[in-house]
Amino acid sequence: MEVAIFSSTPYERQYLEEANKAENHMLKYVDVSLDTSTVELAAGHGAVCVFVNDKADAEVLEALHKGGTRLVALRCTGFNNVDIEAAARLGIKVVRVVNYSPNSVAEHAVALLLAINRKVHRAYNRTRDSNFSLDGLIGFDLCGKTVAVVGTGKIGCVFARIMIGFGCRVIGYDPFPSPQFEALGVRYAAPGEIGEKADIISLHCPLTPQTHHIINSQTLQRAKPGALLVNTSRGGLVDTEAVIEALKSGRLGGLAIDVYEQEASLFFRDLSSEIITDDIFQRLVSFPNVIVTGHQAYLTREALTTICETTLRSVTAFEANQPLENEVKVG
């Protein structure tokens, strides 16, 4: 089957080519994001393969349908960038990667937490300049601290297990309680408990209309002074301007993010020789107690292998008119 792969990168292609040895599809690599201005590049391809910042709204899906596309394969777990109802109306199937490596994302969240708490980013820059002063680098022991895990699916459970290993007290929040989470010997938070007790809040929930800006000015006002916030899920979970105000006031002690609400115009490209015109992002990264990585939490060999194999197997199943194990359906 002919597959147009949008937002493709050189490091992904070797994994896609390896996975395709067993599937034998015709892969066309497109190094730009899918949107209304690039959708014509998919014309004649029965399937398109997209990533987190590709845009597959109703307008794009209609153009894809006219061009002969009948399958949208997400090489990620989240599908907030696809209009599922429009796809169903057009008869376009949508598949995703339900489970690739929860360890990769959870471990990166821990890495960000350790770095922002122990000021690793600042220490790294200092020692490169032969500055070995320790002023301003004081952190705190994780042992004994309260960690709130918002979203207790596979990734949240792995993150919670790691935090338990550090000796932390772990509480969770999720409208759909997980027996696997509770089996770790932890519990779900009582109303208001996260704001009162959480020294660390880590976000692991999907982006939905209900979770959009789940971290906002109201929730931040209730946060424990000096709390650290980690987000490796989706940028839209956080109201960035509200976070900036909380950082300025000292209510928020630090922020470590791998995702950003307006990341589509920034991430996955080299902008080191350009002027970044996103004033909110520029304000954010000006804080010494903020760490930003460019949506790399998933980026391990194990995760890339599983993502590519799962995605191309779904394309094969679609081509053979077989049941789609990882199909995203309306509702």
Residue 13: active-site member: no
Backbone angles phi, psi at 110, to 5 degrees: -65, -40
Active-site pick, 12, 23, 261, 263: 263
Backbone angles phi, psi at 200, to 5 degrees: -140, 135
Q: How far is CA 87 from CA 34, 60, 93, 135, 168, in A?
A: 15, 10, 7, 55, 44
89 catalytic residue (yes or no): no
Instruction: Choose, from 234, 241, 309, 325, the residue flagged as catalytic.
Output: 234
The residue from 23, 107, 295, 309 that is catalytic is: 295
Report how far residue 302's alpha carbon sits from residue 289's, in angstroms, rounded to the nearest whole number. Answer: 31
C-alpha neighbours within 13 Å on the C-beta side of residue 111: 14
Q: How far apart are CA 30 and CA 7, in angstroms?
A: 6
The C-alpha atoms of residue 115 and residue 279 are separated, in whole angstroms, by 25
d(CA 177, CA 258): 25
DSSP 3-state of 271: coil
Residue 234 catalytic? yes
Catalytic residues: 234, 263, 295
